[in-house]
Amino acid sequence: MTIFVTGGAGFIGANFVLDWLAHGDEPVVNLDKLTYAGNLHNLQSVQGDARHLFVQGDIGDAALVERLLAEHRPRAIVNFAAESHVDRSIHGPEDFIQTNVVGTFRLLEAARHYWQALPATDKEAFRFLHVSTDEVYGTLAPSDPAFTEAHNYEPNSPYSASKAASDHLVRAWHHTYGLPVLTTNCSNNYGPLHFPEKLIPLMIVNALAGKSLPVYGDGMQVRDWLYVKDHCSAIRRVLQAGRVGQTYNVGGWNEKPNIDIVKTVCALLDELRPRSDGHSYTQQITYVQDRPGHDRRYAIDARKIERELGWTPAETFDTGIRKTVQWYLDNPGWVANVQSGAYRDWLQKQYEQV
């Protein structure tokens, strides 16, 4: 048996592939376009491992996907491939529509054709697992209950709108064609291999480089943080036992305002890699202009996945964030590698600083 993973050179996808191969011997075919966010260094430890086949390509390339499915005959597809950064979606939404909407559509079509031709028992066992986000549900007021799977879709950014569209396509391919799909909607992830355009790795990398720590608006926007390995274990569990056609919200019960996250990162760095002048890294915090349309609060109600599938996160925020900061301190080579010209151009565009 084999699984087919898309976007497996990105942050969550690479963590998933590494964890998958650490938990068993089932091979993985990993299709990734290697955009700025995809990095083969993330997969260095499985280079040469016969259980891992990497293919550079686009989920929107129907001929390529159909050929790979026919050749490797996977029992499941796990779709991580996406454009994933809200700020980039504000500057340039086109790529988000292309990959997240059109790409998912093409992947679904290729999956449907492949699945329809499978022998009965393989057809029955096949799964298409779509990895999505809590951002499709929109924003919450401070006292609103957390998002359940029944919450309305109210996406507010080009990113979340494109992910919402992809979720709807996945749902429709199940209802119309019977494709055996599963969807997970997860809260904000953090951990190793996180590209330093997102809040937590950006703060770690900027702090160590002596740069400012740009907090948008008042810094009181709330996100619900989950350690990436816990997201990976949730996906493995949903793939194993999720009910076909169902959606599972995945979260860490860790709601925190951004400014608290930034101060926690600073405190850990003060402890683990103190500044040479003896001052705290909090001195580098700078409040900058807010993101347009910035969602105020996300929070996931993860009771369904716990009740039905027995999944709970293994890490608390305290244990996960310490591991994460330590990982960045231990892997300066990885950080240097991803800080290419394209990365520097992005910082210039978004923050007018380098």
| One-letter amino acid of 338 | V
Active site residue 345: no
Q: What's the min distance (Å) between Cβ of 171 and ligand NAD?
A: 16
Using H for helix, E for strand and C for coil, what is the string for 252-282?
CCCEEEHHHHHHHHHHHHHHHCCCCCCCCHH
Instruction: Check binding of 214 to ligand TYD (CB under 6 A).
Output: yes
The helix (H) or strand (E) run that includes residue 89 is helix 86-91
Instruction: Indicate which single residue of 166, 188, 264, 284 sits in contact with ligand TYD (rule: CB under 6 A).
Output: 188
Instruction: Indicate which single residue of 36, 153, 216, 327 sits in contact with ligand TYD (rule: CB under 6 A).
Output: 216
Active site residue 134: yes
**Residue with Cβ nearer ligand NAD (37 or 266):** 37
Instruction: Indicate which single residue of 21, 37, 146, 325 sits in contact with ligand NAD (rule: CB under 6 A).
Output: 37
Instruction: Indicate which single residue of 21, 28, 43, 82 sits in contact with ligand NAD (rule: CB under 6 A).
Output: 82
| Residue 200 β-bridge partners | none
Give the Cα separation of 190 and 324 in Å (integer).
Answer: 7
Q: Which does residue 186 bind out of ligand TYD, ligand NAD, none, counting CB within 5 to 8 angstroms by kind?
A: ligand NAD
**Residue with Cβ nearer ligand NAD (158 or 281):** 158
Q: Which of the residues 76 through 115 are near ligand TYD (CB under 6 A)?
A: 86
Q: What's the min distance (Å) between Cβ of 352 and ligand TYD?
A: 12
Q: Please state the separation of Cα 67 from the chain's center in Å.
A: 26
Give the Cα separation of 130 and 167 in Å (integer).
Answer: 8
Instruction: Check binding of 13 to ligand NAD (CB under 6 A).
Output: yes
Give CB contacts under 8 A, 24+ apart, made by 277-280: none
Q: Which does residue 230 bind out of ligand TYD, ligand NAD, none, counting CB within 5 to 8 angstroms by kind?
A: none
User: Exposure string (b/e) for 156-185, b if CB count within 10 Å is 16 or more?
Assistant: bbbbbbbbbbbbebbeebbeeeebbbbbbb
Instruction: Check binding of 99 to ligand NAD (CB under 6 A).
Output: yes
200 near 210, Cβ under 8 Å?
no
223 Ramachandran zone, left/alpha/beta (phi>0; psi -120 to 50): beta
| Residue 99 DSSP one-character state | I
Which of 58, 83, 134, 167 is catalytic? The answer is 134
Q: Report which residue's Cβ sits closest to ligand NAD.
A: 10
Beta strands in 12-169 (DSSP E): 28-32, 52-56, 76-79, 127-133
The binding site for ligand TYD (CB under 6 A) comprises 86, 188, 198-199, 202, 214-216, 221, 223, 258, 291
* Active site (catalytic) residues: 134-135, 159
The binding site for ligand NAD (CB under 6 A) comprises 6-7, 9-13, 31-35, 37-38, 58-60, 80-84, 99, 103, 131-133, 163, 186, 188-189, 195
